[in-house]
Structure 1
Amino acid sequence: MGGNNMLKFRTIGQLLNLYILPEIEKRIDEGTIEENELPFNVFQFRIILKKISEDKVSPIVEINEEVNVVVNVTAKRKTIPGEIVTLNDIDPDQSYIVPPVYDGKPAAYFLCQSSFFDYFLTFDCRPNFPDITEDFQEMKNAYPILDFINNIKLYKDIKPIEKIENLSKNNWPPAPGYYPHVLLELHKDSCVIDNPELLEIVSDAYGTSYWERRFAFWEETNFFPERLLYIKKAVDAHFSKDYIASIYVLVPQFEGIIVDYLSECNQRTGGTFKDKIETFKELIFSRKILMFPKQVFDTAFEYLNTGSFWENSYKIKNPSTTINRHGIAHGNFKGFECEEISLKYLILLDLLSYIILHDKMLREKI
């Protein structure tokens, strides 16, 4: 994630607070969304700004299945009306969104569509601009139709939520960086999860370029104030194969990161670390909506609450493959430091950062 992603997530946060959250509240009051459906999973939305007069617009909010994007494409060959057209018949680089029309006129809009842990965001406010030039009016909003269709197919084929749950059961933190590379390899051969080659596959997905993007995003958004130095040292030590340093620098940061965020949100921070995780979970699920899949949140908190992270260290048979905070924090383990366990703690950090990112969007704090 770089600067462009900061702008994207910041804009999404603003749109959620201006339009989507009020719309969800309205639908709750009307009874079209029940309290037991909360937090409501939003995977796409479109806000249409219907112009009423020169100085007034009326927002029309579409959520999930209500969104119907129409795209103009350029055919590579001559077609006849009613003929089925495939991706091979069109030029995907010449695909443009058709603006919604009201009263015979194009309407301004914001469109946001999810791609598992990322988003496509675009907007067109030109129909509401006064006195714009004809050339500007003729500009088109491109639509990544090939990426969109491929992502849908990939999601259906590899069933990412099931595979992330399976990774979690095998003591790999259920994090977004597995998508799509690691999950695709598991789709090709489910037995990989029991083989040593899984470490190499996951390590490739979480390589130096991945962490460079994460650091760029965290620095620009002041994501881990006063802790980024420690995290950078842990990542540098990991890639220098100094796993003793990477593990012992990183493990104490988890409680600190959660306490920092609870304090920022004016939540209680007392009790054991496990109590703090439960408070963190309650905070996340207290929101009216979720912008990442709820099943992944469920898997993540189950991993943190009931997985090996919390087991008594004497129950851990192999500390070089199984993460366990107690055994490291209290010095019960010796000679366990290796690439796999270091990588797993880094992935756990990445998981926490995505959960916090999600909540910061809803709080409009990116």
Structure 2
Amino acid sequence: MSPNTTLEQQLPVLSEDVSSWKGASVLSVTQMTPGGLSLVFEIAHQMRVMVQTQGADTRCQGKLLATVFYEASTRTACSFQAAMMRLGGNFLHVDGEGGNSSAAKKGESLTDTVRCLECYTDVTVLRHYNQGSVGTVIEAATKPVINAGDGVGEHPTQALLDVFTIYDELKLPLSSNATENSKPLTIVLLGDLKHGRTVHSLAKLLAKSHTAGVTLRYCAPAGLELPEEIQEYVAQFDHVTQETMTDLREACQQANILYVTRVQRERFESDEAYQAVKGSYVVDAELMQQVPSDMIVLHPLPRIDEIDPAVDSDPRAAYFREMENGMYVRMALLALVLGKV
């Protein structure tokens, strides 16, 4: 059971009803119903069309976003900032403990930092290195807070853009009746499944939302297996099958998606422990010749050495398209919580 279980139960259910999102904080994918997921996808698709045809609009003009990051970020921070600017709003950024301008250097609590920022802004996107920290802030916050990663806990907005990309790449419907018109999926989750908060959120979201049936194949180096509490959450859904495999080629047979994650050096207690598992699995051109011809490769990025850059030119490599989709999904989220849909 996660540290935020009780809080998650108290948070609003995010459904196909637009009003359920307005003013809501987003802590976990467990808040979202299948209908709520479809709503995000529909709006994200509209945002993509809007950006591609006109570049931006003004629906969030006068609104201000705070991006508060106590861990390094490129894609999540920049895509949220770009999303807000594409919607006509603006942002201010706080670099947490790593920045010389942060009051955390003076010993200010995380909750106080966010409560002060709320005096100037309309919504906060928060990343912190301690699991449960974002939930603690949400309990005290007076305005919407979106979880951008809490330690090894969850990363719900990454899971949203991952599933959006899965549906988009596999040409599955994004509409409100998507779950009825969908098909069973087989998805390989590869790499550091112990520390990978993107995988934790993705497994939960797929289990809860893709009712047409999901097979999740876990492929991790020894000691980096998916935590038991995540597997237990997934196991409550009868339409989900969980498999643990060690041979990557075997795991990819009949798979629709290969979701690759890096071994997270920053989570290890020693460099020796990291080096012992680094490079355990590598996706290269040779592997791509042996897997299904229509299997899509995703990665939340950054990558280190787990995907050979030679794979980038393969049309099945969708990780940069995945990153672009992140902006559209985050535009949809900001518009929803700010009541600007």
Give TM-score, length-normalised by structure 2. Answer: 0.32
Give TM-score, length-normalised by structure 1. Answer: 0.30
Larger Rg: 1
